[in-house]
Amino acid sequence: MGPADTAPPVLDPLQGPETTDPEATDPQAMGPEAMDPEAMDPEAMDPEAMDPEPMDPVTAKPPEPPECDVSAPDEFEPNPGVGGGGSQYTDSPHFRIYGASGSNAQQAIDHLEAAYSCFVDTLCWRSSGLSINSNSDDGPFYKMNIYGVGSLGGAGGQMFSDARAGLSYLRVVNSYLPQPRVTVHEYGHALTYHEKGWVEQTNTGAWWETVANFVADTYMTSPLCTDARKAHGVSEGRTVIDLGKVIGDSHQVIVDASRGSGNYYQAWPFLTYLTNNPDGYEGLGTTVLRDMFRNHNGRNETPLHVLERLAAPVTVQTIVGRYWARMAYLDIGHQQAQEAFFSGRGRLNFANLDALSGDRYRVKSSRSPRYFGANIIPLNGTGDVSVQVTSAGVFTATLVVRAESGAVRYIDLEGGNGQATVGSGEEASLVVVNTPDALVMYDPFRIGGDVARGLDYEVQITGATP
């Protein structure tokens, strides 16, 4: 069970949520006990606030879903003892909703059944109908209980678990039940819980929120879930990406739950990149997040340590370096996110460098990339552009050149040095990522030491200006 906290990002992709409060999200509480409430602010998450201009991006072929070994029955057994039950409810094959009726209950059922179909039947995650106390996936299978309530003290939804049964259940404010950015977000916690591998692993704690928003956004927007949505009469939703945080504060630790400034709700595009795998790295793809649950060693390692094993011989440093390079133009296989980026990038913070003399610049100390964080530096100019990045630290640097057609070139700067020709109608960015030689065991709620230390670097740029 993951730590609960404040809202996932608002649906104005340039304005983030209220600051998070990790004091309310003790990762030690990750276990088969009741979750603390998530102070979600769904009223701020107005899909109409995002009005991207139309564009014609160059889109990669959607990833192919895996083949699942489906052995579950069509209809699961009810289990009213989990969460307290009740006399009035609405049933579906995999869920039972108490305390709500009519359109609210039906819309919630439609979203939850579609999310189940996408993540369990299509992406092969472990069924939320299976107890985590069972070593078998053969059943019995129980309906997940969802409780509609009048209030949760400012929260929109909560995920709980029943330790004896090994089953999860949700409480969701009735007015938010039909909203997948709330209900499916909470269901993302349940799916993580039923995968078992990250339960009671403190260093995965903040990542539970990253996963929950990945689940909600993938369900609402990804081609991977299109068939599931259509089968349940659900239209495509709007992305929950928060560009002001994930791009404007890209220098932060890749998943950071620091009080008042963390990014752990907004960091989910990294999981989208791993899932869509536009670079074709071995070990990544549609099952990678599921495999990051299942291959956790149970000794409090971070998700990056699991990824390191899954992707070998490709390194996490290579993967994260290319992820941030692709984020320069949101080239991660997420069309809505890319449209939002090009619609609003003029309002994002790219002020990462201070000018020195001539064509030399130094990273601002407040913007120096922390552990696996990055600086994305748009460049002005065409023709031959040369770059030399120097630092006492370990980094990955890339020149990214995008054509009017949407095609993107990635030029690796070996040793920080390289050049590219930027043609008429093209644009370029320099991306510098803090990629230390060795991964660090860190708790995102308690960042310090090497994880908090920024990458100090200078860069010489000829043929263009930042």
Tell whether 240 is covered by a domain. Answer: yes
Tell whether 325 is covered by a domain. Answer: no
Tens-place pLDDT, residues 123-139: 999 999 999 999 989 99
Q: Whose structure tokens read 């409480």?
A: 171
Domain co-membership, 315 together with 356:
no
Domain with residue 433: its CATH number is 2.60.120
Could you give the number of structural domains in the chain? Answer: 2
Q: Residue 197: is its pLDDT beyond 60?
A: yes
**Confidence class of residue 7 from pLDDT cuts 50, 70 and 90?**
very low
**The tokens of 261 are what?**
């400034």
Domain co-membership, 288 together with 414:
no
Domain co-membership, 439 together with 291:
no
Rounded CA-CA distance 269/241 in Å is 8
Rounded CA-CA distance 61/121 in Å is 21
Domain co-membership, 214 together with 87:
yes
Tell whether 15 is covered by a domain. Answer: no
Rounded CA-CA distance 228/210 in Å is 22
Domain co-membership, 110 together with 256:
yes
Picking from 303, 53, 125, the residue whose alpha carbon sits closest to that of residue 198 is: 303
pLDDT of residue 154: 85
What does the pLDDT average to over 195-220? 98
Domain co-membership, 304 together with 385:
no
**Confidence class of residue 146 from pLDDT cuts 50, 70 and 90?**
very high
Q: Rounded to two decimals, what is the model's pTM?
A: 0.89
Tell whether 329 is covered by a domain. Answer: no
pLDDT of residue 264: 98
73 neighbors 141 (Cβ within 8 angstroms): yes
Picking from 457, 466, 262, the residue whose alpha carbon sits closest to that of residue 350 is: 466
Rounded CA-CA distance 215/272 in Å is 10
Burial of 404 (0-12, 13-18, 19+ CB in 10 A): exposed
Which domain does 443 fall in, by range? 350-462
Rounded CA-CA distance 29/221 in Å is 31
User: Which of these three, 277, 304, 320, is where a domain ends?
Assistant: 320
Rounded CA-CA distance 430/385 in Å is 10
User: Which of these three, 270, 299, 320, is where a domain ends?
Assistant: 320
Q: Residue 10: is its pLDDT beyond 90?
A: no
Domain co-membership, 365 together with 420:
yes
Domain co-membership, 114 together with 218:
yes
For 314, list phi and psi in degrees, rounded to 5: -70, 135
Picking from 285, 103, 77, 260, the residue whose alpha carbon sits closest to that of residue 177 is: 103
Output the average pLDDT for the chain. 89
Tell whether 5 is covered by a domain. Answer: no
User: Which of these three, 320, 339, 362, is where a domain ends?
Assistant: 320
Rounded CA-CA distance 185/176 in Å is 11
Tell whether 8 is covered by a domain. Answer: no
Tens-place pLDDT, residues 374-394: 999 999 999 999 999 999 999
Burial of 344 (0-12, 13-18, 19+ CB in 10 A): buried
Q: Which helix (H) or strand (E) holds 110?
A: helix 102-116
Tell whether 48 is covered by a domain. Answer: yes
